[in-house]
Amino acid sequence: MECIHRDGIFQIILDIDQLADPFLDPYAYQYEIHFQNGTVWRTNDPYRFPIQLGEQDRFLFNSGRNYKLYNHLGAHPVTLHNISGIIFRVWAPNAQAVSVVGSFNSWDGRVNQMRSLGASGIWELFIPHLQENEIYKFSIKTQEGHILEKCDPFQFYGELRPKTASVVRSVNTFAWNDQQWQQTKKNTTPYDGPLSIYEIHPGSWQRDPNDPDRFLTYRELADSLIPYVKKLGFTHVELMPVMEHPLDESWGYQVTAPFSITSRYGTPEEFMYFVDACHQNDIGVILDWVPAHFPKDSHSLGQFDGTALYEHEDYRRGSHPEWGTYIYNYGRNEVSNYLIANALFWLDKYHIDGLRVDAVASMIYLDYARNDGEWLPNCYGGKENLEAIEFLRHLNSIVYDIYPDTLLIAEESTNFYGVSRATNQGGLGFGFKWNMGWMNDILHYFAKDPLYRKFHHNSLTFSIMYAFAENFILPLSHDEVVHGKKSLIDKMPGDEWQKFANLRLLLLTMWMHPGKKLLFMGSEFGQWSEWYCKRSLDWHLLKESAYHSQLQQFVAGLNTLYRAQPALWQLDFSPEGFRWLDLEDRNNSIISFARYGKDRANHLVGVFNYTPQSFSDYKVGLPDNCRYRKLFCSDNKMFGGSDAGEETVYKPIDSPYAQAPYHTTMSLPPLSGLILEPIRE
């Protein structure tokens, strides 16, 4: 080769007849590079390898339908022409030039410039001899001539914050052992089965006792968290976002690399180990997923190629005023494809069982958290974000088509119609929706002094009016125990005994109410302090007071009762699964109702006393003319209660009472709930 420019441009002119020889590979050449220090290095030229991404994959991406896009874009170890290396691809349609930079080329953007794949906007380059764990970024030259260094939007792993470079990592080598779990999922449906979720933040559930500033790794969490969840009887864990994010205080909800497991807690393989171990212990794994917005960190997606690529250009559509983040441009095919492929990625590569989609209300309303003049109406003059709604419908239909056993859960706080209804019925197509109305009402009610609860009786009963309008999950989540809202136990009125009695009563009310269940970590043993993401839960409380360990035992007992009783989950989303027995005794703050499964004979009766007053010979309606016995009581002494109620078998009186055809009389302990089951002779 001949040096034709002093800055290092070399060329060689080959005979055209030689290039046309079918028995020769004109691209099978190497460089022999002589450095000034005498070092000689022979290597393959990245530009001798032909383009690998086919036109069909490019077309599908630009059409928004390349759903396994993560197999193509990003950095992938491959072997071409018997030569191993890494093939890089990135979408930057408005860039003048794009290079791969890293320590392998001294972060010099002149060395490994990528090839443009034309109108697709994709750039590609195979760099031979690179291996896994290489650190890299994309150096992007904008139309204005500015140089941007960006992490890979499809990175599968990244450097530990505050560093921001991407790391080449395969996610295809883990040996899974969850075949039995996967088969069981195919043979069951979540709608008529038990679903009890334990929500955790991996960085603060527990930390290293010898080094409180050190996170537990995914493997360490598997060894400690899984036995704990299994002991408590939860069916699933829900992890707050484990995608890469720069700021701990965002709790993971400001994601800079949606395809990357956060390096805080370990490697992709270690997280796969965690998920696999959960499945082998019959515990499902749900991830919080954030397609609503992304942060403005310079290394991330914002202004990726010097233009508004992933976000809207107009700040009234593309910028979120409340969170200081960008909003995805859901109407752009490639962006929609990026997000749908990301959801499928976690289900495919990490065997995740469900996604809880964060902040859906912020996606579907253009005026969310905005004042007049700060938002643009849709083409019909309305406030609905039609592009986001179409994206969500597209997302849910594709996910259910490819992975029909997935739990797709919307955190949606408004009365938008049909969040968990099928798309062909005008719904958004989710499987479940968080019942934020119930959560607000029940916490408002329990925060009241019992003396005044009779004036707020509707807060206790109103949720049944709409309980079957959606497939609801009842959440007592992390959002309710931060920012001055107090922990669950500290929200409860009264002295210490009454606080714990109130919390047991709240949880029993929740477990008996129609809908699936979610409880945030720490609430199961009554942590006094609000949750803080940089500190372990207060596990020491379990040794300091019996109340905490008794509450923990109560939650385990609740889940045992729940799993064993089909009446508590078979007809969660049908009015046939619920019947009021008495909802009108507001003066005493007492309610009673029945829950039914598909076998109506094996129903349960719940009686709840929301005052610290004891009652004797209290009339309780019964749905059937048979004897009943006490099955469960929140006032049980083993749970820290008073054990005031002694009678355990109740005979029916053939006379209507309240909304029930029969009734009986019983003693009701203070601040307690009783569960009765029929005795079949």
Strand partners, 79: 84
Strand partners, 33: 41
Tokens of 108: 């010099």
DSSP, collapsed to helix, strand or coil, labels residue 518 as strand
Helix axes 218-232, 268-280, angle to 10 degrees: 20
The residue type at 420: S
List the one residue out of 290, 298, 323, 273 whose CA is nearest residue 146: 298
DSSP one-letter string for 374-420: SS---TTS-SB-HHHHHHHHHHHHHHHHH-TT-EEEE---S--TTTT
Could you identify the residue written with the tokens 């939650």? 555
Could you identify the residue written with the tokens 């679903």? 195
d(CA 115, CA 446): 63
Yes or no: say if 568 and 194 are a contact pair by the CB < 8 Å rule: yes
Yes or no: say if 274 and 218 are a contact pair by the CB < 8 Å rule: yes
Yes or no: say if 403 and 353 are a contact pair by the CB < 8 Å rule: no
Residue 249 is a catalytic residue: no
DSSP, collapsed to helix, strand or coil, labels residue 342 as helix
Kindly list the distances between the CA atom of residue 292 and the CA atoms of 62, 123, 258, 388, 659, in Å, as whole numbers in the listed order: 21, 27, 12, 9, 45
- The CA-to-CA distance between both ends of the chain, in Å, stands at 97
Residue 358 is a catalytic residue: yes
d(CA 373, CA 371): 6
The active-site residue out of 411, 412, 524, 635 is 411
d(CA 344, CA 402): 8
d(CA 376, CA 386): 12
DSSP, collapsed to helix, strand or coil, labels residue 86 as strand
DSSP designation for 606 = E
List the one residue out of 218, 240, 220, 235 whose CA is nearest residue 290: 240
Tokens of 33: 């590079």
Q: In angstroms, how far apart are the furthest CA atoms of the chain?
A: 106
Cβ-proximal residues to 312 (8 Å cutoff; 6+ apart), any chain: 318, 319, 327, 329
Compute the half-sphere exposure of residue 258: CA atoms within 13 Å on the CB side of its CA: 23
| Element of type H or E holding 354 | strand 354-357
- Tell me, rounded to whole angstroms, the distance of Cα 661 from its chain centroid: 44
The residue type at 108: D
Helix axes 55-63, 333-349, angle to 10 degrees: 110
Kindly list the distances between the CA atom of residue 670 and the CA atoms of 499, 506, 614, in Å, as whole numbers in the listed order: 12, 13, 5
Phi (first) and psi of residue 104, to 5 degrees: -70, -20
- Tell me, rounded to whole angstroms, the distance of Cα 330 from its chain centroid: 20
Strand order in the sheet with 83-91: 74-80, 83-91, 122-128, 115-116
- Tell me, rounded to whole angstroms, the distance of Cα 36 from its chain centroid: 54
The active-site residue out of 57, 311, 358, 524 is 358
Please count the residues of the chain. 681
- Could you list the active site residues? 358, 411
